[in-house]
Amino acid sequence: MAAVNRRVFLSATGTALGAGLALHVNPTSAAASGLGHTGITKADLPTPALLVDLDALEANLKVIADHCRAKGCTFRPHAKTHKCPAIGKLQVASGAKGVSVATVPEAEAMVAAGVPGVLLTSPIVEPGKIARMVALTKQGGEVILAIGHPREAELLAEAAATAKLVMDVFVDLDVGDHRFGILPGAPALELARKISRYGSLRLRGVQAYAGLASHVKGFSARQEVSRTAMLQAVETRQLLAKEGHDVPILSGGSTGTYNIDTELPGGIELQVGSYVFMDVGYRAIGGRSGDDVYTDFRPSLTVLTTVVSTTLDDRASIDAGVKSFATDSPALPEAKDREGLRYKFFGDEFGLLTAESGAKLPRLGDRLEFYVPHCDPTVNLYDRIYATRGDHVEAVWPTVARKETADRTTKPAGQR
């Protein structure tokens, strides 16, 4: 897949220009109908701006699609990374069974955009959110929920029964992260039994995410941590199947363990997320060949910035600070194609650049792109992604569901 099929790409882009961009570019341009040539270049964009390199994105889509095809497994990538229905559609077009999501608003956005097979991986116990997931199913959306506690099952079963629906669910396992989910083995079996007693719930598989393994440095160490965690899920699925429960799917895995988890007995449905973008943190975990840099996927996500001050000879300031990059990671933004530059957070709106010996600082007005420390929360800071090829902007993709909306507290589920 050297490039995404043009028809698929145009369908994925949808309405390319948001109202905000219309202040800066002609809204009647080709981009408004999702065409591949907007007439806009990077030089036209206000900074800071979030960019995705389409060549790199397409290459990353192909890596996972080819890997899963070769291993005979499926994948349902995590849309919490990009929060972008256009990218979700491209992932499905590449062979994904659907997408995974972390929140109810993400599920609503993906279903509204026509993305099939939406798996909500996080627990929900609020009646309003449960009602919204039930409403998605009633409206024809293909959704699955991960259930990790008997009370979750009870609440969902009651809501689904009231709506005269049968909801698809996975048993959600805690294999070491200790955030949520039922413990493997006997506790999970008892939960599966409870789920099976509800006529409004249909058990379809098991979910197990080992986040503790995803960023372990060194392939061998990462492999050991992931296999120790995920074999609990394999054994639990076997336990459930032995008792007659229909659990054909084991859903889990990560960008850092995709080529480890697909070796598990019985197969897996991968929930890879960051692979579409990559980030500085992930690239530091090292690859299978023993390299210090993880190069299985190309870094495609950058923040475009402008140099706004060069008053002092030993530094420069850019217009991207803590409001432009996620700050949860110990990693720092890295300049693209500018070796020897070092970034430091320098306030809400600014970053400080210094140069190593032999490197040159940029000039006032120069534009630089930076790879992001952590892609998921960085995307959450922006309302759009500029899809670029070279210097040209081919589309503008909105990011969605970055937070709950206030009207959800007053309007019944299903009403807009």
Say if 335 falls within a structural domain.
yes
What pLDDT was estimated at residue 406? 55
What pLDDT was estimated at residue 14? 44
Q: How far apart are CA 74 and CA 250, in angstroms?
A: 10
pLDDT of 237 higher than 80: yes
Say if 226 falls within a structural domain.
yes
Residues 154 and 240 in one domain: yes
What pLDDT was estimated at residue 405? 72
Chosen domain end from 230, 262, 283: 283
Q: What is the pLDDT of residues 273-313, one digit of tens each?
A: 999 999 999 999 999 988 899 999 999 999 999 999 999 99
Say if 141 falls within a structural domain.
yes
Residues 40 and 95 in one domain: no
Q: What is the pLDDT of residues 173-194, one digit of tens each?
A: 999 999 999 999 999 999 999 9
What pLDDT was estimated at residue 25? 35
Joined together, the tokens standing for residue 72 give 């005979």
Residues 28 and 59 in one domain: no
- Judge residue 368's burial from the number of C-beta atoms within 10 Å of its C-beta, 0-12 exposed, 13-18 middle, 19 or more buried: buried
Chosen domain end from 232, 262, 283: 283
Residues 117 and 174 in one domain: yes
What pLDDT was estimated at residue 408? 56
Chosen domain end from 283, 317, 343: 283
Q: The domain spanning residue 379 has which CATH number?
A: 2.40.37.20
What pLDDT was estimated at residue 343? 98
What pLDDT was estimated at residue 33? 31
Instruction: Work out the average pLDDT over 366-387.
Output: 98
66: enclosing H helix or E strand: helix 54-71
Distances (CA, A) of 229 to 56, 122, 260, 272, 355: 31, 19, 12, 17, 43
208 or 23: whose pLDDT is higher? Answer: 208
pLDDT of 165 higher than 70: yes
pLDDT, averaged across the chain: 91
Say if 404 falls within a structural domain.
no
5 or 264: whose pLDDT is higher? Answer: 264
For residues 196 and 169, the answer to whether their CB atoms sit within 8 Å is no
Say if 413 falls within a structural domain.
no
What pLDDT was estimated at residue 161? 98
Q: What is the pLDDT of residues 30-47, one digit of tens each?
A: 333 343 557 999 999 999
What pLDDT was estimated at residue 36? 55
For residues 209 and 254, the answer to whether their CB atoms sit within 8 Å is yes
Residues 212 and 181 in one domain: yes
pLDDT of 159 higher than 60: yes
Residues 116 and 234 in one domain: yes
Say if 278 falls within a structural domain.
yes
Domain encompassing residue 149: 55-283
Residues 221 and 105 in one domain: yes
Residues 64 and 164 in one domain: yes
pLDDT of 17 higher than 60: no
Residues 48 and 79 in one domain: no
| Confidence tier at 407 by pLDDT (50, 70, 90) | low
Q: What is the pLDDT of residues 327-351, one digit of tens each?
A: 999 999 999 999 999 999 999 999 9
Distances (CA, A) of 101 to 95, 104, 122: 17, 8, 8
Query: What size, in residues, is the chain?
Result: 416
pLDDT of 1 higher than 60: no
For residues 266 and 234, the answer to whether their CB atoms sit within 8 Å is yes
Is residue 25 left, alpha or beta, with left meaning phi > 0 and alpha meaning psi from -120 to 50? beta
* Number of domains the chain contains: 2
Say if 253 falls within a structural domain.
yes
Residues 233 and 376 in one domain: no
Q: The domain spanning residue 250 has which CATH number?
A: 3.20.20.10
Residues 240 and 202 in one domain: yes
**What type of residue is 119?**
L
Global pTM reads 0.90
Q: What is the pLDDT of residues 92-135, one digit of tens each?
A: 999 999 999 999 999 999 999 999 999 999 999 999 999 999 99
pLDDT of 217 higher than 70: yes
Residues 318 and 334 in one domain: yes
What pLDDT was estimated at residue 32? 33
Say if 263 falls within a structural domain.
yes
DSSP 120-184: E-S----HHHHHHHHHHHHTT--EEEEE-SHHHHHHHHHHHHHTT--EEEEEEE-SS--SSSBPT
